[in-house]
Amino acid sequence: MTTNPEPAAAANTAAGLATDLADYYARRAAEYDAIYRKPERQADLRVMEAALPACFSGRRVLEIACGTAWWTLHGARDAKRWLATDLNDETLAVARSKPLPASVELRTMDAFTFDGLGAEGFDAAFAGHWWSHLPRAQLPDWLDLLHAHLEPGARVVMLDNCYVEGSSTPIARRDAEGNTWQQRRLADGSTHEVLKNFPTEAEARAALGGRAQRVRWTGHAHYWVLDYTLS
């Protein structure tokens, strides 16, 4: 997020986070998929990749912060339509180089604001590794914003990382709101402070509140999956 290890004053604002994350992931685009080659994570990845297509079979899906489309490639296999969105041209360029299913459309969009999405209707949504980048205090409002673009009864699937000592980047600090931050170093030598939260099942269910039904949490060794139906 910043080459200065000290957090920026605007770090906890939506605008500040969007700018910092955009810079970080633009710089990281070429090396992003290396995280999926960690040996200890392979078993979890194969299980999740295999399970995703059935979640979205025949559905019109909005994907938030698709990055390099690692999960798009798997989840969109049987979808009727899949709109994969991301803020960065750099990550979308990597996504376009992959053999994505014919149902996939890639589009630039800010995941904090959904600007430019319009009134398109979706009966499903997916986000991989996005929940963890949302400040805890802003999460309920962001969920309301997402759900406003979905039809009643839409299926939503989120997946993200568990914190695993020795595999995850160490937590550098915890702020007054309980958010946790990591210091990440990229191949270009830059250092970035990145918001990365690791919710428990209880915290995730509490954040959903009455917005969801048929909530299911699946915990893996290195990842978690949250699957629910919009009330």
182-202 confidence digits (pLDDT tens): 999 999 999 999 999 999 999
Task: Taking residues 23-36, report their average pLDDT.
Answer: 94
CA–CA dist 231, 213 (Å, integer): 6
- Higher pLDDT among residues 14 and 10, named by residue: 14
Are the C-beta atoms of 90 and 25 separated by less than 8 Å?
A: yes
Instruction: Report residue 3's pLDDT band, with 50, 70 and 90 as the boundaries.
Output: very low
Q: Which residue has the tokens 């710089």?
A: 27
CB proximity list for 231: less than 8 A, separation 6 or greater: 152, 210, 211, 212, 213
138-147 burial, b at 16+ Cβ within 10 Å, e below that, comes to bbeebbeebb
In Å, how far from its chain's centre is CA 6?
Answer: 25
pLDDT of residue 81: 98
Task: Residue count of the chain, please give it.
Answer: 231
Domain residue spans of the chain: 14-230
pLDDT of residue 9: 33
CATH class assigned to 14-230: alpha beta
Given a cut of 90, is residue 10 above it in pLDDT?
no
First CA to last CA distance, the chain: 35
Given a cut of 60, is residue 7 above it in pLDDT?
no
Task: Taking residues 16-34, report their average pLDDT.
Answer: 89
User: Tens digit of pLDDT for each residue in 82-114?
Assistant: 999 999 999 999 999 999 999 999 999 999 999
Are the C-beta atoms of 197 and 190 separated by less than 8 Å?
A: no
Instruction: Report residue 20's pLDDT band, with 50, 70 and 90 as the boundaries.
Output: confident
Given a cut of 50, is residue 5 above it in pLDDT?
no
Instruction: Report residue 13's pLDDT band, with 50, 70 and 90 as the boundaries.
Output: low
Torsion of the alpha carbons at 12, 14, 16 and 20, rounded to the nearest 10: 100
Q: Share the mean pLDDT of the chain.
A: 92
